[in-house]
């Protein structure tokens, strides 16, 4: 059966590569977009308690939504194709990045912030030189969770015409063609595991030396 | 050097002001210790000096300049700041931590490196080995040394210290106090030092400010506070053994009388404290000892002299070993 799947790929390499590329592009764009929104937002709410309560409440609700439901909800609003898939996947990636950025910044020791202020660092310097570097491992852990969720969630994009490896899976299921199903499922799984490993490695690399023990 | 004038600070949701019409002057080169029970406003008072807290009314001036007219970031870079929990940056090495303010001030790299080296040596930390370590690798005492070095880095004329040795074990605390007094003898700093430990206040302060409910009850030299507590609260606060504490501050030299024809058998050094002289008299069951200065008898000290010194304010009293003078 694996051999049949392999032949399936060899017979139409262009289709496979295109699907893989779409899958990666969709995931990377969603993660990038989520980071661009959630990291600054997480930083902003870290110092505003009331806003934080509201935003975190929303993020937690967002986290409980099933990926497929989010995709389904995007369809009536944005139609089908790449854009609604990107929208839905970004939505999926927002909560972990937001929550971890908030928690990472909040957990920086108050005495460290007090010392920084007392020595004459501006608010901007405290953020850039103290809070963000110390929070970096936690923020990266959030990106790692989001990345894996997005890669896995992107399989479902096929349902709303977003393309990617999910196309093989949905087609495989529809036609009861197991080899074709595997052509989508195996690379998608490998991609998710590989992404997790890659971000784990990056997370360790991004951890400042003085914090290494704590983040391990 | 530091002047607080009629300063009031009230925190939202609190019935009483944290600092209530407080006026206080700290002279150039003096260590002013703020002390009192929890919630007396001592830390708030200290934080008013570098604008970490801003007054509701009244003025705070440093070297004649109103702090509210000074940019807070610039102001704080000129004031050393040490806190109990140290607050070292965990992601920076010890050397980088000490370099914080010089870097903020934009010093040249080699000047900063040299200064860091100098300061770590001053506080007894080896710059070559420990300098490259991270804060989590240090003991509590070493962290506090680094905290002091970091506060001294840009050689600020004024320093604020909030229970700097409060988290240390008693032996390390005593050693740090002694070393800090030694460091202060070579640098002239105007210091506001917060503590809740009366023994530390007596030891470290040129003047001690006793606070309660945001107000100043007494502001005087340790000798004076021990001899003449301003009221019943101060009396109780300095402790039932205040007479002994006072004796520990005074040198034998300050209370002795000219030597007569016959000298007592027991003798003590002129720089020793009156407390030590009293202990000697009790141990040897005598009521007079000879006082020796530069290897020769300089006078005689009697039990009556010691008793007198424990009460009297003794205008000529000079401070005992381990302090920076009156």
A125-177 pLDDT, tens digit per residue, is: 999 999 999 999 999 999 999 999 999 888 888 888 888 888 889 888 888 88
Q: How confident is the model at residue A106 (pLDDT cuts 50, 70, 90)?
A: very high
- Contact between residue A147 and residue A195 where contact means Cβ atoms under 8 Å apart: yes
Contacts of B115 by beta carbon, 8 Å cutoff, 6+ apart: B99, B102, B107, B153
**Which residues 104-143 of A are in CB contact (within 8 Å) with B?**
109, 111-122, 125, 129-130, 133-134
Q: Give the residue ranges of chain B where pLDDT is below 70.
A: 312-326
d(CA A162, CA B236): 79
Most A CBs within 10 Å, among B87, B106, B192, B194, to test the A interface: B87
- The pLDDT assigned to B8 comes to 94
Contact across the interface for B104 and A114, Cβ inside 8 Å: no
Contact across the interface for B134 and A116, Cβ inside 8 Å: no
Contact across the interface for B81 and A112, Cβ inside 8 Å: no
Comparing alpha-carbon positions, the chain A residue that sits nearest to B71 is: A120
Query: Angle at CA A127, nearest 5°, toward A121 and A128?
Result: 90
Q: What are the chain A neighbours of B147 within 8 Å (beta carbons)?
A: 115
> What is the strand order of the sheet B19-26 is part of?
B19-26, B2-9, B57-62, B65-66
Q: What are the chain B neighbours of A112 within 8 Å (beta carbons)?
A: 87-90
Most A CBs within 10 Å, among B78, B85, B89, B138, to test the A interface: B89
- The pLDDT assigned to B228 comes to 87
Query: Is the Cβ of B144 closer than 8 Å to some Cβ of chain A?
Result: no
- Contact between residue B4 and residue B22 where contact means Cβ atoms under 8 Å apart: yes
Q: What are the chain A neighbours of B72 within 8 Å (beta carbons)?
A: 120
Nearest by CB to B90, which of A118, A120, A210?
A210
Q: What are the chain A neighbours of B83 within 8 Å (beta carbons)?
A: 111, 114-115, 118
Domains of chain A, start order: 2-208 (1.10.3720.10)
- The pLDDT assigned to B313 comes to 52
Nearest by CB to B135, which of A117, A122, A210?
A210
Nearest by CB to A213, which of B83, B104, B136?
B136
| B83-117 tens-digit pLDDT | 999 999 999 999 999 999 999 999 999 999 999 99
Percent of chain A with pLDDT over 90: 47
Contact across the interface for A120 and B93, Cβ inside 8 Å: no
Q: What are the chain A neighbours of B78 within 8 Å (beta carbons)?
A: 120
- The pLDDT assigned to A209 comes to 83
Comparing alpha-carbon positions, the chain A residue that sits nearest to B46 is: A118
Chain A / chain B CB contacts < 8 angstroms: 78
Q: Minimal CA–CA distance to B48: which of B35, B37, B61? A: B61
- The pLDDT assigned to B77 comes to 95
Contact across the interface for B101 and A213, Cβ inside 8 Å: no
- The pLDDT assigned to B312 comes to 64
Shortest Cα distance from B133 to chain A (angstroms)? 8
**Rounded mean pLDDT, A69-92:** 86
Residue A68: count other Cβ atoms within 10 Å of its Cβ: 14
> How large is the ipTM?
0.81
**Rounded mean pLDDT, A69-88:** 85
Q: What is the DSSP letter of B326?
A: -
Contact across the interface for A112 and B89, Cβ inside 8 Å: yes
Q: Minimal CA–CA distance to B248: which of B292, B279, B205? A: B279
Contacts of B301 by beta carbon, 8 Å cutoff, 6+ apart: B252, B255, B256, B257, B268, B274, B277, B288, B289, B290, B291
d(CA B46, CA B52): 9
What residues does B81 pair with on adjacent strands?
B160
Q: What are the chain B neighbours of A116 within 8 Å (beta carbons)?
A: 87, 89
d(CA A104, CA A123): 17
Q: What are the chain A neighbours of B67 within 8 Å (beta carbons)?
A: none
d(CA A188, CA A152): 7
* Coil vs helix vs strand at B221: coil
């Amino acid at each position: 059966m694996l051999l049949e799947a392999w032949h399936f790929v060899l017979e139409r390499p262009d289709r496979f590569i295109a699907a893989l590329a779409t899958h990666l592009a969709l995931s990377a764009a969603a993660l990038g977009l989520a980071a661009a929104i959630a990291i600054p937002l997480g930083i902003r709410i870290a110092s505003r308690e009331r806003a934080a309560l509201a935003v975190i409440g929303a993020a937690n609700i967002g986290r409980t939504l099933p990926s497929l439901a989010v995709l389904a909800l995007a369809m009536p609003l944005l139609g089908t194709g790449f854009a609604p898939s990107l929208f839905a996947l970004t939505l999926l990636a927002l909560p972990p990045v937001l929550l971890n950025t908030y928690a990472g910044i909040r957990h920086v020791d108050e005495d460290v912030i007090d010392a920084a202020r007392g020595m004459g660092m501006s608010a901007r310097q405290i953020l850039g030189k103290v809070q963000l570097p110390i929070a970096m491992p936690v923020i990266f852990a959030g990106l790692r969770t989001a990345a894996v969720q997005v890669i896995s969630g992107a399989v479902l994009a096929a349902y709303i015409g977003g393309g990617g490896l999910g196309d093989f899976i949905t087609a495989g299921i529809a036609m009861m063609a197991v080899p074709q199903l595997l052509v989508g499922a195996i690379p998608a799984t490998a991609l998710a595991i590989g992404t997790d490993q890659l971000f784990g490695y990056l997370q360790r690399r991004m951890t400042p030396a003085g914090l290494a023990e704590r983040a391990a | 050097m530091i002047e607080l004038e009629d300063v009031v600070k009230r925190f939202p949701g609190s019935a009483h002001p944290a600092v209530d019409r407080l006026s206080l002057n700290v002279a150039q080169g003096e260590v002013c210790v703020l002390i009192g029970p929890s919630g007396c406003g001592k830390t708030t008072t200290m934080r008013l000096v570098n604008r970490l807290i801003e007054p509701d009314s009244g003025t705070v001036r440093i070297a004649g300049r109103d702090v509210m007219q000074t940019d807070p970031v610039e102001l704080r870079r000129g004031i050393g700041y040490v806190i109990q929990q140290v607050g070292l940056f965990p992601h920076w090495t010890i050397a980088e931590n000490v370099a914080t303010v010089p870097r903020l001030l934009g010093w040249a790299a080699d000047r900063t490196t040299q200064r860091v080296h100098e300061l770590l040596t001053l506080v007894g930390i080896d710059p070559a080995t420990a300098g490259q370590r991270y804060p989590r690798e240090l003991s509590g005492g070493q962290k506090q040394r680094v905290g002091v070095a970091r506060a001294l880095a840009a050689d600020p004329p004024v320093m604020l210290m909030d229970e700097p040795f409060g988290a240390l074990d008693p032996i390390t605390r005593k050693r740090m106090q002694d070393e800090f007094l030694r460091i202060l003898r070579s640098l002239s700093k105007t210091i506001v030092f917060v503590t809740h430990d009366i023994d530390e206040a007596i030891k470290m302060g040129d003047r001690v400010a006793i606070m309660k409910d945001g107000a100043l009850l007494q502001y005087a030299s340790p000798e004076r506070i021990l001899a003449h507590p301003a009221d019943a609260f101060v009396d109780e606060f300095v402790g039932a053994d205040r007479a002994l504490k006072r004796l520990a501050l005074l040198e034998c030299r300050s209370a002795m009388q000219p030597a007569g024809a016959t000298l007592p058998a027991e003798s003590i050094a002129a720089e020793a404290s009156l407390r030590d002289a009293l202990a000697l008299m009790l141990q040897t069951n005598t009521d007079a000892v000879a006082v020796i200065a530069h290897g020769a008898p300089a006078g005689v000290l009697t039990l009556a002299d010691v008793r007198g010194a424990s009460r009297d304010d003794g205008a000529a009293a000079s401070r005992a070993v381990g302090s920076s003078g009156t």
